[in-house]
Amino acid sequence: MAVPAKTSSTTAWWLIAPGVIWMTLFLVIPILMIVYVSFWTQTTFKIESTLTLASWQQFFASDTYITSLFTTVRIWLIVLIATLVIGYPTALYVGLFVKNKTLSTILLVICVIPFWTSFLIRVLAWRPMLGKEGAINIILQKFGIISAPIEALLFTELSVIIGMTQIYCVFMVGPIAFMLGRIDPNIIEASRDLGAGFWRIFRKIIFPLSLPGVVVGAIFVSVMVLGEFATASALSGRKVNLLGNIIVTQVGSLKWALASVVGVILTIVMGIVVALFLRIVDLRREL
């Protein structure tokens, strides 16, 4: 069997080669470069490859930067929970309660339709919704629920959270609906026949079987929210600064070393988050 074994390993190598080359050129080398540049010496107008810890010290000595690290983590957690709370029931409906496969596909496509417009327009569209004289305030006033407009709706952390939840929710719905759609309806009938009520079936059968979808959705949402900057700058009026916003500002003023430090920290945070999620389920086995 030596010859076929050799052939198959050669074939395997050729199959993974494009991926390996691509990942090396555009992922591994850039990450190493960022780590390297984060130790370079930054002066006002130029950057030199002399190694120093100065940029790292600058980051950890600054209240602004540390605060933005915590803001990033806080907003990520809130958005993650919000997308899960809104996304799971939606996915449950689309993936499990809608028996008609065509209808459930149509519903999923409807979830994706907002993505046919540009990201920036989707974010900016929240301004006329949430503003002092925006749609929500006008409606609430018309119905006499409030007498003065709620100003906290726009240019606050709340508006950033609302905007992000709306934009990223579909990334939670998709994978969960996919996993739920794969559950054999006979399994649910069997558990009902064995006497389990709806909540028992949900807790013991449906939720565990959809968990891989939850984990994949959570990874999608987490990676995107942690790297976010556009929603924060468009909807917070520059009051909410995420790590992504700091990178944009620093790159804008040609402070490559500090931008690299923030980039490395962000990558580490994402790495930890993804690793934690992957501990929940063995995705390779489940998918």
Contact set with another protein (CB under 8 A): 184, 186-187, 189-197, 200-201, 204-205, 208-209
Q: Select 23 or 187, whichever has its Cβ closest to another protein.
A: 187
Q: Which residue, 30 or 208, is less far from another protein as judged by CB?
A: 208
Residue closer to another protein (CB basis): 100 or 147: 100
Q: How far is the CB of 87 from another protein (least distance, A)?
A: 21
50 vs 186 by CB, closer to another protein = 186
Report in angstroms how near the CB of residue 286 gets to another protein at its nearest.
9
Helix 243-252, helix 256-280: angle, nearest 10? 160
Minimum Å gap between C-beta 215 and another protein is 14
What are the distances in angstroms from CA 135 to CA 118, 124, 125, 151, 278? 21, 14, 11, 13, 41
Instruction: Find the shortest distance in angstroms from Cβ 216 to another protein.
Output: 16
Q: How far is the CB of 191 from another protein (least distance, A)?
A: 7
Which C-beta is closer to another protein: that of 26 or that of 198?
198
Closest CB to another protein among 43 and 186? 186
Q: How far is the CB of 285 from another protein (least distance, A)?
A: 9
Q: How far apart are CA 253 and CA 236, in angstroms?
A: 21
Closer CB to another protein, 63 or 193, in the complex: 193
C-beta of 200: minimal distance to another protein in Å?
5
